[in-house]
Structure 1
Amino acid sequence: MDVIDYLMDGDPAIRWQVLRDLTDAAPEEVAAERARVAAEGWGARLLALQAEDGMWDGGVYRPGWVDESRPMYDAWTATHFSLQQLVDFGVDPADERMRRAVARVRDGVRWDQPGSPPYFDGETEPCVNGVVLTIAAHVGESGDAVVKTLLDSRLDDGGWNCWAEYGATTSSLHSTICVLEGLLDWEQATGGTEEARAVRIAAEEYLLDRRLFRRRNTGEVIDPRFTMTSYPVRWFYDVLRGLDYLRRARPAGDPRCAEAIELLRAKQGPDGAWRLENTHEGPTPFEMDGEQEGFPSRWVTLRALRVLRWADATRG
């Protein structure tokens, strides 16, 4: 099967992005396919899991049923990660079903701790706030409070770390990529500010100075998992996520991406697809058909192909 045919045999959440990013389909064809995301398949299924109080699985960051004796236990069924997934699916924010879901969150959802602010005002951790900002930008909610928190929490080396409030002074690629995506999405949705744009561009250097996966001082691979393809990404960093961000942020390319691009290119299988190499463990709302660790992945393949399309267009 041709790799495009393989992708187009998937869920509407995949198909509309293939049409937009890989086949240069007409805008009306893209829009028609995108409209199906909220009505059928994964998007409709996830929207249907929201409760009347606006939450998914009884919690904002962690589900209501998670044992408090396991405070670091990650479950991807809660409100924050469900909203992140809906944005990844590309549910049209103008669709009445999505508008209703967002209104429930805006009007009724606050962070898990008593006395916490509303969801779209964000909280303290930059990796969380970066994702909140991406969601807010997608659905047309104000992200101004989150932007201020992010600009105020940047570390001296130019990035962010969710452990900064506990004394961390060195940035984390996990936290930094979440913030970069959020700032870019907010900037594209609203026009942004000069201050936020300057901070974002400077923070990109944190990734690029490390060639996206190597220690700046020794050249060693920071973490072997950074070289592995994953999806859904949640709050985790990997080379494909970094490249997919830079594809949008730097359309003219950057030579410091070259090694990461070739690493990604080498992972393409003889069938033209990429495998899902690293699943971030934790309960999920449901299994997405055809997405299993060690096997070809439509999500990874879609993202890899659009990165390589960008990379090839910027050569020479």
Structure 2
Amino acid sequence: MQFHRFMRADEFVRELAPLHAFRSEYMGTSLLEGLESASLLFPRIRLRYPDPVARRLWLEMHEDMPCQLKHPLEPDGARWDSAVDFRNRLHRWQNYIVYGISPHPLDDYEPRFTEFVQRPKDFSFERRLDRRVDVSSDVYETLFDDCNVEDYYSSWQLLFAAELADAGIHMRINLADRNIARAAEKAIHQGRIPAGTSSAFNFLPAHAARNFASHEKALDAVVWFAEERSRMLSKITTQHGGGRFRLSPAEGAQYEQAGQDLALASAKRFSIGGNDLETLIRPNCETELEGLAEGSNRSLT
């Protein structure tokens, strides 16, 4: 798995699926929307262009569909120029093999881009369907598009999401019995607990949420470092044209130095030190050692 600090929602869901955490649910962006509505998991960043800007962007992306939109378009000016520049920077960053290594525009975005960036945790929940932009026209009487919104997650949130899969109250009931299943469905729709169910509260995800929150800066630093180092390696190896090969001594030294520089830059960016990384890693190491010890004991018996 590659590390990404700004992973699109559809990509996040694809990476989440192999973990098999949400076994009985459809793995789509609607799952993420449900987690957000329950205040369990929020996108790290949401790009949201004002409606006039989004309509003009939509119109330029659909030049093969001549039409007259019913609602206002963004005119030429500072805000339009900022939106175009912002999108271009995102495009260049995503295609760094062609354009070269550059800072991610969301790492330290300029004040003129602030209007396009939201932190969903700070906003009231709004359904994705309600966030769409109206692009109705003389060709399409009623038409909406979600081109104005893009959610981004971090790779470490995959582990957090997996922890949340069993959050809440769990009820056990025999749904193989059609009568029981119909009665249960009716009760749920009426806001009642189905008769004959046993239930259990699962507070472990709440504890996990607190643990992730306490290590958030360190997790962000690890993902930032891993992604930037991977990009640097790609830049070094691009000239080889693919296939298996060994780095030359000079390339190896360049990669090693880049890793050290990026580690220092990541620690500085997220204001963390060795102790922060140690407290992040130690519980996982202890769990792994306990598992190895248990395995050794079983093999001896």
Greater relative contact order, per chain length (Cα 8 Å cut-off, separation 6+): 2
- Give your verdict on TM over 0.5: no
TM-score, normalised by the number of residues in structure 2: 0.24
Structure of higher CA gyration radius: 2
Higher helix share: 2
